[in-house]
């Protein structure tokens, strides 16, 4: 009996050991990286898309692609955050773009259905509207103002305001301006309720007879003059409109007023600010909620801030960037304004403002570099030019059309381009008190009406543009720069033509936040 028991035990042990030897790895644990999905190809690092057009991306996975769940996300900005939009849940993305213009992190995720491991791929997605990249030419024709739009492919789209809205604007163009997300307005529904449309892009177009507000993505008319004010001005005499990083500012009938995105005047310009016997020049320099204006009566600078209902004057700090001086010491007075403009140096902000004036008593020309942003703290700040004297034989003192070279906010690190209202472009370099004459010479039959350095540090926009008129038509030329110098490469890179007399233009690219 004992022998039989020993035999059975030996047999069972042999069977057990044999089973273990034949087990080829059912209990082997693998690194999750070895069983995670593997992306082979098909997703680039950068994509550009146009609103309402389809964005198609078809990646390739290793092995059986049916083993995975797929998701596409878009996060606003350049940092992945908790706020996102789901664009698709299939491997192939075929997405009609409805995202607002801007920069997004595009994220693709493939997840193993069994073990839930995932692979991710991040890309930068730049979204622009049909009107998100191109040149907007403000022009005058047959007593009316409209915009010709030169799109990213170089095609001239004529009279886009009339084409989209059925009508253009009366009068001669003064200027247009754009801000990406600082215009809110109320819409009255059929049942009488009110819906607030918050923080949308807007373009405003101003003529000497009118001003209108358009949606910044599709240029559909949002408000005419009569609808654009908390209380309609008694006198309609527009002098210009400017976008700020806080909203918009309008100069009308020798006073300024602001759009407020909160309170009672959402989407409407509020009451005009007092001018205290000033006569406002129609040139202004803006940054944030501050605006610097020029009093032609006294011949000196003044400032306004959106929350300060009085002009800032006789509150000037004269100093180097490191040392503050006493408040109340005026830079200058009794001067004629020759030029005032703001230097662009980053995607969403502006640099210093440059001011050229002529003393009425001495006829001496001088240059000032001003910090407009300090107006919100109650003073105007000199960044160190200190009234640099410009030789009277320099052509810049007779300039009619001006532009600043973007790129830096340090003292005098720029050149001032100018034209005397003829067919030539020159520049003045205040850093070494020199001029470059005849940098660009157009045919003698043309008159230059606008020059601009289209610049963006982040997105490598770096183009010089010259807009001119000839025989009732406009001509736009673009130039590349000669390395890091202020000079341009000749001949021009591209030329575009249209009908009507151009006043000026704005350039927008996909990541433009504001046009000063």
Per-residue pLDDT of the chain (516 residues; tens, 9 = 90+): 444 444 443 444 343 333 433 334 343 444 544 567 888 889 999 998 887 788 999 999 998 999 999 999 999 876 666 678 899 999 999 998 878 777 899 999 999 999 999 999 999 998 888 898 899 999 999 999 999 999 989 999 999 999 999 999 999 999 999 998 889 888 888 888 888 888 889 999 999 999 999 999 889 999 999 999 999 999 999 999 999 888 899 999 999 999 976 666 688 999 999 999 999 999 999 888 889 999 999 999 999 998 888 898 876 665 444 444 555 566 789 999 999 998 887 656 677 889 999 999 999 999 998 888 888 888 888 776 788 999 999 999 999 999 999 876 666 778 999 999 999 999 999 999 999 999 999 999 999 999 999 988 777 889 999 999 999 999 999 999 999 899 999 999 999 999 999 999 999 987 788 887
- The candidate with the shortest Cα–Cα distance to 37, out of 123, 114, 122, is 114
Write down the pLDDT at residue 7. Answer: 40
Write down the pLDDT at residue 322. Answer: 42
Domain ranges of the chain: 35-128, 129-154+397-516
Q: Tokens 């001032």 — which residue?
A: 416
Query: Vertex 243, ends 473 and 417: CA angle to 5°?
Result: 55
Could you tell me whether strands 211-215 and 194-207 are parallel, antiparallel, or unpaired per DSSP bridges? antiparallel
* Per-residue burial over 93-115, b = 16 or more CB atoms within 10 Å of its CB, e = otherwise: bebebebbbbbbbbbbbbbbeee
**For residue 17, how far is the Cα from the chain centroid?**
75
Q: How many Cβ atoms sit within 10 Å of the Cβ of residue 36?
A: 16
SS3 489: coil
CB 320 within 8 A of CB 381: no
Region of 42 (left: φ > 0; alpha: ψ -120 to 50; beta: rest) is left
- Tally: H helices and E strands in the chain: 3, 39
Q: Read off the DSSP letter of residue 320.
A: B
Q: What is the CA radius of gyration of the chain?
A: 31
Write down the pLDDT at residue 24. Answer: 40
Assigned token pair, 100: 């607002």
Distance CA 108, CA 58 (A): 11
Write down the pLDDT at residue 32. Answer: 47
Write down the pLDDT at residue 132. Answer: 86
Q: What CATH superfamily classification does 35-128 receive?
A: Immunoglobulins (2.60.40.10)
Q: Is the peptide bond before 491 cis (omega within 30 degrees of 0)?
A: yes
* Per-residue burial over 422-442, b = 16 or more CB atoms within 10 Å of its CB, e = otherwise: ebbbbbbbbeeeebeeebbeb
Question: Does an H or E element contain 429, and which?
Answer: strand 424-429
Q: Read off the DSSP letter of residue 323.
A: B
Q: Tokens 């550009």 — which residue?
A: 48
Within 13 Å, how many C-alpha atoms sit on residue 195's CB side?
Answer: 5
Distance CA 451, CA 419 (A): 8
Could you tell me whether strands 316-317 and 380-382 are parallel, antiparallel, or unpaired per DSSP bridges? parallel
Write down the pLDDT at residue 245. Answer: 82
Q: Tokens 């009488």 — which residue?
A: 192
Assigned token pair, 251: 């100069």
């Amino acid at each position: 009996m004992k022998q039989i028991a020993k035999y059975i035990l030996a047999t069972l042990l042999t069977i057990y050991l044999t089973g273990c030897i034949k087990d080829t790895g059912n209990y082997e644990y693998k690194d999750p990286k070895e069983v995670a999905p593997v992306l082979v190809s098909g997703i680039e690092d950068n994509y550009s898309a146009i609103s309402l057009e389809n964005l198609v991306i078809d990646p390739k996975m290793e092995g059986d692609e049916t083993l995975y769940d797929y998701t596409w996300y878009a996060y606003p900005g350049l940092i992945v955050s908790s706020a996102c939009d789901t664009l698709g849940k299939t491997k192939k993305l075929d997405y009609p773009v409805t995202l607002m213009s801007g920069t997004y992190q595009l994220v693709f995720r493939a997840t193993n259905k069994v073990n839930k491991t995932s692979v991710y791929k991040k890309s930068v997605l730049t979204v622009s509207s049909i009107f998100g990249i191109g040149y907007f030419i403000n022009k005058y024709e047959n007593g009316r103002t409209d915009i010709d739009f030169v799109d990213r492919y170089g095609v001239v789209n004529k009279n886009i305001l009339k084409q989209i809205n059925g009508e253009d604007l009366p009068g001669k163009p003064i200027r247009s301006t754009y801000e990406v997300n600082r215009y809110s307005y109320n819409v009255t529904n059929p049942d009488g309720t009110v819906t607030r449309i918050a923080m949308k892009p807007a373009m405003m177009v101003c003529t000497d007879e009118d001003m209108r507000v358009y949606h910044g993505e599709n240029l559909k008319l949002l408000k005419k003059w009569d609808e654009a004010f908390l209380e309609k001005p008694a006198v309609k005499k527009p002098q210009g409109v400017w976008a700020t990083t806080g909203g918009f500012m309008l100069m009308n009938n020798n006073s300024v007023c602001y759009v407020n995105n909160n309170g009672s005047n959402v989407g409407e310009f509020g009451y005009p600010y007092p001018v205290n016997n000033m006569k406002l020049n129609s040139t202004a320099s803006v940054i944030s909620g501050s605006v610097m204006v020029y009093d032609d009566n006294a011949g000196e600078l003044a400032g306004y801030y959106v929350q300060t209902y009085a002009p800032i004057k006789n509150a000037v700090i004269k100093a180097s960037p490191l040392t503050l001086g006493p408040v109340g010491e005026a830079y200058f007075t009794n001067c004629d304004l020759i030029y005032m403009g703001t230097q662009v140096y980053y995607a969403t902000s502006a640099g210093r403002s440059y001011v050229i004036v002529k003393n009425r008593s001495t006829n001496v020309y001088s240059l000032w570099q001003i910090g407009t942003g300090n107006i919100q703290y109650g003073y105007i700040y000199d960044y160190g030019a200190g009234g640099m004297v410009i030789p009277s034989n320099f052509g810049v003192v007779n300039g009619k059309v001006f532009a600043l070279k973007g790129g830096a906010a340090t003292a005098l690190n720029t050149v001032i381009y100018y034209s005397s209202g003829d067919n030539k472009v020159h520049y003045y370099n205040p850093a070494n008190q020199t001029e470059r004459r005849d940098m660009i010479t157009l045919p003698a039959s043309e008159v230059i009406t606008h020059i601009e350095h289209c610049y963006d540090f982040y997105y490598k926009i770096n183009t010089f543009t010259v807009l001119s008129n000839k025989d009732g038509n406009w001509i736009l030329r673009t130039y590349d720069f000669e390395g890091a110098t202020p000079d341009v490469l000749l001949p021009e890179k591209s030329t575009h033509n249209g009908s009507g007399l151009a006043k000026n233009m704005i350039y927008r690219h996909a990541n433009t936040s504001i046009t000063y």
